Amino acid sequence: MAHVRPRVDLWDELVDSDGTPRPAAAALVAHLAALEHAELQQRQDLAEIDILTMGITFTVYSDGRGIDRAWPFDIIPRIIDATEWKRIELGLLQRLRAINLFIDDIYHDQRIIADGVFPVELLGDSVNFRPECRGVDPKFGVWSHICGSDLVRDSDGTMYVLEDNLRVPSGVSYMLENRAISKRVFADLFTQQSILPVDSYTDELNRMLTSIAPDGTLDPVIAVLTPGIYNSAYFEHSFLAQRIGAALVEGADLFVGDDDCVYMRTLGGRERVHVIYRRVDDLYLDPEVFLPDSSLGVRGLMRAWRAGNVAIANAPGSGVADDKVVYAWIPDIIRFYTDSDPILPNVPTLRCFNAEEREYVYEHIDELVVKPANESGGAGILIGDRATRSELDAHIALIEANPRNWIAQPILSLSTVPTLCDGEIDARHVDLRPFILSGETSSVTAGGLTRVALRQGSLIVNSSQGGGSKDTWIVETR
Amino acid sequence: MMLLSRVADSLYWGARYLERAEDTCRLIRSYTDLVIDLPTTAVSSWEPLLAVAGDRSTFDAMHDETKEHDIVRFLVAESANPGSVASSIATARENLRTTREVLPRDVWQAVNDLSLYTVANVASGVDRRNRARFLHRVIADCQRIDGAVSTLMTRDDAYEVWQLGRSLERADMTARVVGVRAAALVESERSAAAQKSEIYEDVQWMGLLKSVNALQMYQRATRGPIEAHKAVGFLLRDTMFPRSVAACLGAIRRSLETLPRPELTLPSVERLDTLLAAVPVGEALDASTAGEELDEAMDHVLLGLGAVHDAVASTLFHPGH
């Protein structure tokens, strides 16, 4: 029988430390207990075949070329009670409202700096602050229209926000596809209990993108801008374009006309584009303003955007709030703009920018996770208790060279979810990436993408480094 | 609904490569049948397959002899041969992967299925023992894809570009079969008649018609025994049979009339119509030079199809280049 074993030292999302199922997970745990291991493995195998035939892939790089890999998925879902989720949802909405107000303020009056809440030096050093964006007024004051915030739960059960991906977050297509697969694997459970649907995301996305079109546009043309087929998230770019009926364009498919409007090159000639959902980083967006050698972007795009002739989601420059050092100020930012305390806590964060906190980091580096401000995908991260002395010293030297670029946090023991590993069920660490849409109105996905570290004891959940994924069920209990 | 020029280009090549894979499978299937049917004295060479579907110089660079296994492997599985079934399907998938937002989802899944099947089974599909099963599956999957396109896809520019790619490649294959195999058969009939030897010409004509899936429809359209000039006429000029060169040209014309700027693309089709009308069929085939003439005429038709492609590419896919 496929029993779920508890781990006393860790928080498990499905069972408590006695092995008693958490109420929202009771039906699943009972269902698993009634299955033979062979049957569970067979369901996993079938799910993997579905993923192959549905062409659900991500791209990895090896020997300088991109390889299209099947998406790694574990059939046992992660479950969150709808009551807890409601609070998380409110926390995320509050957070994004504050973050968007912050970005808008930074590119206008900088009240938060004038009031002494946010240090001006941080802005000067930020690699994601774009002076070219000063004074621009995106509709509704929203800059980060699509945000993926990473949540982790510590061993005491507290859910923390680990980071906010405000530029080009990916993963939402896998959230949707995981549900499609999961409904086949556990069809019975979906009819026996109330699991919140996730499919409305693409419709919400479409509605949000439509809402930010330049004023007076009746039937806006939306395009998803991709760096191309070799990008690791190309599957997602294509998936989202399909689901919202948008054109999937590369830089070379677009041009800016003499009228400072953006057009696509189509069979019938040129066609105006009103909204660009870009999956290309800021610096590649427009060779006229940013990297002059970029062939991924569109010459003149910033001109068109500043003139209000095209909406860009996320807005250029929105990454200013997406740096791990600015992250440390988010609780202050929330208080400053919303006049209320954060509903969701940040992971306690030491700022190496501050001399006192920096000294603490040097002394306790073997108990901390040290992170650079502006890397993604886990690059440059040091996990203190797993590093050698010389690795620790090397990182101290890096911090000393550029303190502003570094933060440190306690080593959280991420919560686990039972996972099928070589035919047995074993606990594996997870995180959760919900997606928050902001436009005329705001919304949060029901759950999000649960990423799982497939190697025992590993905390690395990135799919590029051996991580997998799970479906996330928000379950209503009474 | 608008369609990006780049996406149109990929869609067109995706459709062409799928058609190529399907047609190459038919060709190999019918030729294998034919060789198994006939006494070894009548047909022993596999070279005609290379002449129709292969790139002879690439093959010769890899092999000293022209053995069945090597030729079939070259046409089915060889990755160095861009026209092999395996390469065509891989290229089709790579192209169609960039067109998923304009294709019905079922079409992409069918393409993906076909690609997975091919990768897993192509090596074993070369042996005579498994060959028929492998070729049949590829043909059936290609038809499944076409079926999904015709029943699920909105009749917009993307649909017309798909049809255009399919029809051009199909016309190309039929013209090659006529140019190589029909021409050779006409020639050998003449010499066999002179030497009074048996070449089982009726079986060979049946095999030839089968290679473009035309036998059954030919028999319905033309009662009586198979005659060379009727068979050639059917493959080139029968506007009712969808794999004839004339019917493919009709389909190409209809697509181009719907797509933008037909005034720049249609003249190439009109020139091809004229060429086709001038091909000697019927009584003209009995002349002593018939085989050579047919071969030469088909070369002109193939060049004409190339000109249609050029007009389409420069007008629709790469305007301004």
Is the preceding omega at residue A165 within 30 degrees of 0, hence cis?
A: no
B311 to chain A, minimum CA–CA distance in Å? Answer: 14
Nearest beta carbon to residue A266 from set B5, B98, B108:
B5
Question: pLDDT for B45-77, tens place per residue?
Answer: 888 899 898 888 999 999 999 899 999 999 999
CB contact under 8 A, B112 and A53: yes
The conformation of residue B178, written as its DSSP 8-state character, comes to I
The residues near A416 (Cβ < 8 Å, ≥ 6 apart) are: A7, A10, A11, A12, A13, A427, A428, A429, A430
**At residue B43, does pLDDT exceed 70?**
no
CA distance A51 to chain B (A): 11
Q: How far is B81 from chain A (nearest CA, A)?
A: 21
pLDDT digits (tens, 9 = 90+) for A230-284: 888 999 999 999 999 999 999 999 999 999 999 999 998 999 999 999 999 999 9
Residue numbers in A near B119 (CB within 8 A): none
User: Looking at CA atoms only, how far is residue B282 from chain A in angstroms?
Assistant: 42
Smallest Cα distance from A475 to chain B, Å: 30
For position A1, what pLDDT does the model report?
A: 47
Chain A residues whose beta carbon lies within 8 Å of the beta carbon of residue B4: 247, 249, 253, 264-267
| CATH 3.30.1490.270 placement within chain A | 350-410
Cβ <8 Å between A241 and B157: no
**A223: which chain B residues are within 8 Å (Cβ-Cβ)?**
none
Query: Which residues, at least 6 apart from A48, have a Cβ–Cβ distance to it below 8 Å?
Result: A70, A73
B101 vs A229, A248, A271: nearest CB: A248
From the list B6, B94, B100, the residue facing A253 with the nearest CB is B6
Cα distances (angstroms) measured from residue A197 to each of A194, A226, A446, B281: 9, 28, 7, 65
Average pLDDT over residues B211-219: 92
Q: CA-nearest residue of chain B to A221?
A: B2
Strands A57-62 and A65-70 turn out to be antiparallel
Task: Measure CB to CB from residue B101 to each of A242, A250, A269 and give the nearest one.
Answer: A242
CB contact under 8 A, B2 and A264: yes
Residue A67: which residues within 8 A CB-CB, separation 6 or more? A59, A60, A61
- Quick check: A238 and B97 CB within 8 A? yes
The pLDDT score that the predictor gives to residue B280 is 78
Contacts of A53 in chain B (CB under 8 A): 109, 112-113, 116
Chain B closest-CA separation from residue A203 CA (Å): 16
Q: Answer yes or no: are the C-beta atoms of A80 and A333 closer than 8 Å.
A: no
User: Residue A337 corresponds to which tokens in the numbers above?
Assistant: 């703009």
B4 vs A54: CB contact, 8 Å cut-off? Answer: no
* A267:B97 CB<8 A: no
Residues of chain A with confidence (pLDDT) below 70? 1-8, 62-66, 375-378
From the list A55, A247, A252, which residue is nearest B108 (CB)? A55
- Give which of A177, A226, A244, A267 to mutate to test B binding, by max B Cβ within 10 Å: A267
Query: Does residue B1 sit in helix, strand or coil?
Result: coil
In this prediction, residue A422 carries a pLDDT of 83
Residue of chain B whose alpha carbon sits nearest to that of A234: B98
A interface test, pick of B12, B100, B315 with most A CB neighbours within 10 Å:
B100
Q: What is the pLDDT of residue B287?
A: 58
pLDDT at B120 over 80: yes
Instruction: Using alpha carbons, select from A417, A449, A475 the residue that is nearest to residue A172.
Output: A449
CA distances from B237 to A79, B168, B183, B221, B225 (A): 65, 15, 16, 13, 19
- Residue ranges of chain B whose CB lies within 8 Å of a chain A CB: 2-8, 94, 97-98, 100-101, 105, 108-109, 112-113, 116, 157, 161, 259-260, 316, 319
Q: Which of B4, B94, B109 sits opposite A265 (nearest CB)?
A: B4
DSSP H/E element including B294 = helix B290-312
Asked if B5 lies within 8 A of A267 by C-beta distance, the reply is: yes
* Euclidean distance between CA atoms B218 and B203, whole angstroms: 14
Residue range A350-410 in CATH 3.30.1490.270: yes
**Exposed, middle or buried by CB within 10 Å (0-12, 13-18, 19+), for A114?**
exposed
A373 neighbors A94 (Cβ within 8 angstroms) = no
pLDDT tier for residue B286 given thresholds of 50, 70 and 90: low
CA distance A174 to chain B (A): 16
Interface of A with B (CB under 8 A): 52-55, 221, 229, 238-239, 241-242, 245-250, 252-253, 264-269, 271
Pairing state between β A424-433 and A416-421: antiparallel
For residue B4, the distance in angstroms to the closest alpha carbon of chain A comes to 4
Under a CB-based contact definition with an 8 Å cutoff, are residues A457 and A451 in contact?
no
CB contact under 8 A, B260 and A269: yes
Q: Is the pLDDT of residue B18 over 60?
A: yes
**Residue of A252, A264, A267 with shortest CB distance to B260:** A267
Spell out which residues of chain A touch residue B3, defining contact as CB-CB under 8 Å. 266-268
Residues of chain A in contact with residue B319, where contact means CB-CB under 8 angstroms, are: 265
